[in-house]
Amino acid sequence: MMVASAMKQLKIRYDAHVDRLLSATCPEDGEEDDVSSPVVVCESISKDAFRKWEDKHEGDLGRWEYVPLDAHFGRIEIDSLTTAVHAEAGGCLYSMILEQVLNIGGVRMVHTLKDRPSQTHDVGDRPQRADRTMSGRLSANTFPNVVIEICYLNGSWDALVAKLHRWLGPQTTVQVAIGVQVCTVRRRIIVLRRGDPPMEQVVDFDVESHAMIPPATFPSFPLHLIYHNGPLPAPLV
Break the chain into its structural domains and give their ranges: 3-78, 84-236
Residue 27: predicted pLDDT = 43
The whole-angstrom separation of Cα 192 and Cα 175 is 8
Residue 12: predicted pLDDT = 60
**Topology of the domain covering 84-236:** tt1808, chain A (3.90.1570)
Contact (Cβ atoms closer than 8 angstroms) between residue 3 and residue 61: yes
Residue 217: what are its φ and ψ, rounded to 5°? -90, -10
H or E stretch at 96: helix 84-105
Residue 59: predicted pLDDT = 66
Bridge partners, 74 (sequence order): 45, 68
Cα dihedral sign, 154-187-199-216: positive
Under DSSP, the state recorded for 179 is E
The whole-angstrom separation of Cα 193 and Cα 177 is 7
pTM: 0.85
Helix (H, G, I), strand (E, B) or coil at 209: coil
Mean pLDDT on 14-25? 49
Q: pLDDT for 119-165, tens place per residue?
A: 999 999 999 999 999 999 999 999 999 999 999 876 789 999 999 99
Confidence band, pLDDT 50/70/90 cuts, at residue 22:
very low
